[in-house]
Structure 1
């Protein structure tokens, strides 16, 4: 059987660290009978490419925020949800300039907001605006990578920015320059979500079980001692952040991985319905159509915080 192809991009830290530590900490269950790897890591630029790469049979499984699989299912990609992280309510925030930024969310109407559109940023922004009686149509979305968004907000080219780790740690350390309008926690669970091509899920069930058991163990190790992993990320140039910023981000992260359950699917359905209300989905979708009849059995009993 061909190797399980695992997509890796810089914003999914479980998979990025797995690729950086392969094969040092991976179990023998991820080797074939002849000793060759039963998995292959396939690097790509960003999470929003995951649906296309799964649809084109370039990768078998990937990890993103909660929004890309919703958009992929809407576009007809045959996918199955595999696992999800615990909610991460402090891993994203809507940020403005401290001196002259909008005072509140209603003040965003007609303003320019920097984000990675089509990622969890879109769902976060939609939920924030909706609570105040606004919609995505009431702001101008500006597509910018994090480093560019940081500079654009500083220079006044945009009025707000959806920041995430590790840049969010920098924002919080520069409190005199920035103001957080709201963290993501009250609006979006902000889980990492792992999903696979439906056919690959059935072909590689044993390998996926082993992979996610290994990822669970990796998360525990990172939670117990973030320093060497922060050094690895910095040395690899991930997100352009230094080891200090990565250490803060890794230490604050909840590393628990969980099988997908009814509560998770309800969250995803809520997000799909939210995006449909705001016009980013042209039609409604039923998230349960991407549920697996036989979830994985990887070990998640020990929390990784």
Structure 2
């Protein structure tokens, strides 16, 4: 199990499942001749992507970032279309740490698309229940509003099965929210209107979890944004701002979707200084 420390924060990646999505969609207008050198695809142009939550432990708190692809949420057609061969097994990952889902105090959601939010609830018969019954679930107010009232484009990714059972646990914010002295969530927009990133500063170290603004290490360039992004210019603006900040401050960048790289440090010319692999 991949792990790292940022100051007093212990960080580990959980088993959230996987997808295999079209490389062209994941890299938008970037030509395949460029992106395929950095992130290889299979013979039908799909690239392998994880959906692995991050567990952060600090000051007696157990905090999860995003929740995985879920277990039993997708039908066979959806699994085939999204290339899902492995579903979330967060229970097993937490057990390795001596924890259960009831021990999670806070769940931070970068956004609520199905591949990030399907692990929030579980099905029992015809009903859905919260997977983290004792947790506050943190998400931007814009994202929470769209989750419950999706538009013609977003209704395919914002599912009522993922929000109805947890609505009493949700705590929203507008621009940013301080979670602990070390951790804050910042609204960026871009990938979705309510998308947010997670900033961890502890012991003179900085970590930026960019969510789907930077789904893999190959998306470092501010101009390499996904065709899935609802507001690509907002993605470019936010990524440019935060990548530049991170490079200046020797930050770690962490990933939810990267199939191989968990975390990476670059210098200002893009040279890899350090990395943690799956």
- The TM-score, its normalising length taken from structure 1, stands at 0.28
Between the two structures, name the one with larger relative contact order (CA 8 Å, sep ≥ 6).
Answer: 1
| More helix as a share of residues | 1
| More strand as a share of residues | 2
Q: Which has the larger radius of gyration?
A: 1
